[in-house]
Amino acid sequence: MSESGLVVRHASRVIEAVRGELRNSLAPHVAKSWDRCLTEYGMQPGDARATAVLEATQLRERQQRMGELLGVARAEMESLYEQISGSGYAVILADADATILHTITDPTLKREFRHAGLWLGALWDERHEGTNGLGTAIAEHAPVTVHRDEHFMGYNVNLSCSGAPILDAHGGLLGVLDASSANCSDTRLIQRHTMALVTMSANLISRFHFLHEFPDAYILRFHSRPEFVGLLHEALIAVARDGTILAVNESAMAQLGHPDRSRLVGRSIESLFQFAFSSLQQRAATDPRTIWPIREVEHGRRFFALVRSREQSIARAPAGGAARAQPVSSAVEGGRRHVIGDPSMLHSLNCAQQLFGKRVPILLQGATGTGKEAFARALHTSCAWAGKPFVAVNCGAIPESLIESELFGYTRGAFTDADRHGRPGKILQSSGGTLFLDEIGDMPLTLQTRLLRVIEEFEIVPLGGDQAITVDLHVISASHRDIRQMVQDGDFREDLYYRLAGTTLQLPLLRDREDRAELIENLLREESDEATPVRIQPDALHALLSYHWPGNIRQLRNVLRTAAALCQDGTIRISNLPQELLDAAAKGAPPAAARELPIALTPSAAESCCRTPLDIAEHSALLRELERNRWNITHTADALGVSRNTLYRKIRKHRIPLAE
């Protein structure tokens, strides 16, 4: 059928649905939106496209109106795009009027999205574009998915959109975040996954705004489960210096069972919880990192809380987007020793914590040696089942003839030379805890079928057995191979991929991380005892920081371990480093002579500690956009929606070197 024929057919369906014949087959938000478009706005689904676009000066005014939140949103969009890149998506930020302020698009698809009217300054409210992810999320004040023929206008039926509102501390609308696909082959299942990621990113931006909205307030953070305090779904209450509640977030309303903000804002915090306001002040001043139990006044329900002043709440917020609280348990802090302060690593860990705590399976992608198992262990220690087993299986290291018995176990006499008592497999051993399937891309196709059945049914049948055993699974898988490409090539089951990839996180190469100095410090600390810490001279540190690290963290650890063993008087000198590093160091000039410093006090580390989270986020976003545009200043400026002069100022501000 021709495109014009499809539009006519779609228009007939829309009119029939609004009149009532097909209304029950539509999602409620779609039915309401179609009704608004037809009866309230007087639109016709068969009309030709007439995209309304603001002038450049008006667009800049709207961008400036968002202030620093625009920079935070851009950084969060970068992280979101990394998770869905390659799927044909554009990530879009619009203001409260559905005016597009910023986009991140696959360079190969820019023409398609521009043809669809998704460009800077375009107005995508329902009055202009009918039912769509941006405009309908604003109209409904809630996350929505508008999938292909759910769009009101016939010319938009090739789009699939997921939009989520960004709310201020009082529940008002700041803007909307959207991921739109022009890929006709995407499914509703894929769109549900995308919707979850978009909603989480929008909530993170909202949370950043909440934490920055009240500079003189105390922030009470609480949840009914202690492991969720400090994470995305925690409740937030801003408390004035006189004990009056200034604002509450959506999670606080849900936790307390108050759907109306007006019933909470303006009350004394003492009328809500069974503690004296003076004790809250004291805890904020002396013990801001310890969780303590609190009880609600009305029903006596118990919660777990942290309280901090505004400065404490945001001082340790990582870069890469909205402020995210650090995990509160020492186990989690220990698990973070390989995450440190790199924006992409911090975002990945915090994103994974939100999802894995809700049993969403995680797929880690990254080159060999990037720390996938260490990341998985950190994730395990942050969950409610941290006390249960963490069972790691390297699917690429076990011979194919043994991997089935290793995973699924076997009964007595299942095969020749089998243990006479039988043996439980790794899956059963991990029940209740975490199963880490490393190098999942190397699993044979025949076993992929069995694993899929286990994940779907939560039951396992050992080799030689006929009784199914129920298992409680929490799965993290990892691979250095591109699993999505393997699916396309027929080397990996598509249905298993979607079961394992509740979300996919890409771990960066060591040379791309911004926290290499801090990572070296932590690894050195692990290789020495506290009484005699290993120190490092500036020229040796420069050589380590300048090297390209093809073996990533694994190679770095081995180099530091060897250097620490060879060095004299507890000081690593450049002569203690391997020849390949010395050859690389010889190509670049070392830093100016400086006094010997412990690694923790190196100038680069000290400078990094003094930078604000917003500075680090902006620096990271600039680098990513410059690299994506191959360091073309004109293209990068266009992608960021700024002038070339502004971009040059930002580059100078962050001391980003440009190639001559």
Q: What is the CATH number of domain 7-58+85-185?
A: 3.30.450.40
pLDDT at 289: 72
Confidence of residue 168 (pLDDT cuts 50, 70, 90): very high
pLDDT confidence of residue 567: 84
Q: Which architecture, in CATH terms, is 330-506?
A: 3-Layer(aba) Sandwich (3.40)
Tokens of 413: 């006499």
> What's the pLDDT score for residue 85?
65
Residue 334 has pLDDT above 50, yes or no: no
pLDDT band per the 50, 70, 90 thresholds, residue 169: very high
Written as six digits, the tokens of 42 are: 């007087």
The yes-or-no answer to whether 214-315 and 613-653 have a common fold is no
Chain segment 79-97, per-residue pLDDT in tens? 788 777 666 789 999 999 9
- Given a cut of 70, whether residue 439 has pLDDT beyond it is yes
- Supply the pLDDT for residue 312: 47
Who has greater pLDDT, 239 or 14? 239
- Specify whether the CB–CB gap between 281 and 216 falls below 8 A: no
Identify which of 54, 46, 43 has the alpha carbon closest to the alpha carbon of residue 127. Answer: 43
Q: Find where tokens 């608004």 sit.
A: 36
Pick from 42-46, 64-68, 521-525, 611-615 the range whose average pLDDT is largest: 42-46
State the average pLDDT over residues 448-473.
84
What pLDDT is attached to residue 475?
A: 93
The percent of residues above 70 in pLDDT, for the chain, comes to 81
Q: Which residues sit opposite 239 in a β-bridge?
A: 218, 245
Predicted pLDDT at 227: 66
Look up residue 7 and give its two tokens.
């539009």
Q: What are the distances in angstroms from CA 345 to CA 179, 194, 339, 502, 574?
A: 22, 20, 6, 18, 29
Q: What is the pLDDT of residue 243?
A: 95
pLDDT beyond 50 at 659: no
Predicted local distance difference test score (pLDDT) of residue 164: 96
Per-residue pLDDT tens over the stretch 186-199: 666 667 778 888 99
CATH 3.30.450 assigned to 214-315: yes
Give dist(CA 79, CA 427) in Å, integer. Answer: 32
How confident is the model over 27-83, as pLDDT tens digits? Answer: 899 999 999 998 899 999 888 888 899 998 899 899 988 887 888 888 888 878 877
What are the boundaries of each domain within the chain?
A: 7-58+85-185, 214-315, 330-506, 510-610, 613-653
DSSP secondary-structure letter at 580? H
pLDDT of 322 above 50 = no
pLDDT at 323: 34
Statement: residue 228 has pLDDT above 90: no
- Packing angle of the helix pair 3-19, 28-35 (nearest 10 deg): 90
Is the distance from CB of 245 to CB of 218 less than 8 angstroms? no
**pLDDT > 80? residue 230:** no
Grade residue 2 by pLDDT with cuts at 50, 70 and 90: low
Total Cβ atoms within 10 A of residue 564: 18
Q: Which of 12-26, 258-272, 390-404, 419-433 has the highest mean pLDDT?
A: 258-272
Taking the C-alpha atoms of residue 130 and residue 116, their distance in angstroms, rounded to an integer, is: 13
Residue of higher predicted confidence among 589 and 75 = 75
Is it the case that residue 309 has pLDDT exceeding 70? no
**What is the pLDDT, as a whole number, of residue 175?**
96
H or E element that contains 59: helix 56-65
Look at residue 613 and tell me whether its pLDDT is greater than 90: no
Percent of the chain with pLDDT strictly greater than 90: 27
Residue 401: per-residue pLDDT: 62
SS (H, E, C) 620-644: HHHHHHHHHCCCCHHHHHHHHCCCH
pLDDT at residue 328, rounded to an integer: 32
* Average pLDDT, integer, range 284-300: 86
Q: Can you tell me whether residue 228 is helix, strand or coil?
A: helix
**Overall residue count recorded for the chain in this entry:** 660
Q: Are strands 535-536 and 571-572 parallel, antiparallel or unpaired?
A: parallel
2 CB-near residues (< 8 Å, 6+ apart): none
Q: What angle do CA 307, 311, 314 make, to 5 degrees?
A: 85
Residue 245 pLDDT level (bands cut at 50, 70, 90): very high
pTM surpassing 0.75?
A: no
State which of 6-10, 94-98, 394-398, 620-624 shows the largest mean pLDDT. Answer: 94-98
Pick the CATH number of 510-610 from 1.20.1440.20, 3.10.450.50, 2.70.170.10, 1.10.8.60: 1.10.8.60
Architecture of domain 613-653: Orthogonal Bundle (1.10)
Mean pLDDT of the chain: 80
Strand duo 173-181 + 160-167: pairing: antiparallel
Q: What is the pLDDT at residue 479?
A: 93
Contact 38, 15 (CB under 8 A): yes
Q: 242: buried, middle or exposed (CB in 10 Å: 19+, 13-18, 0-12)?
A: exposed
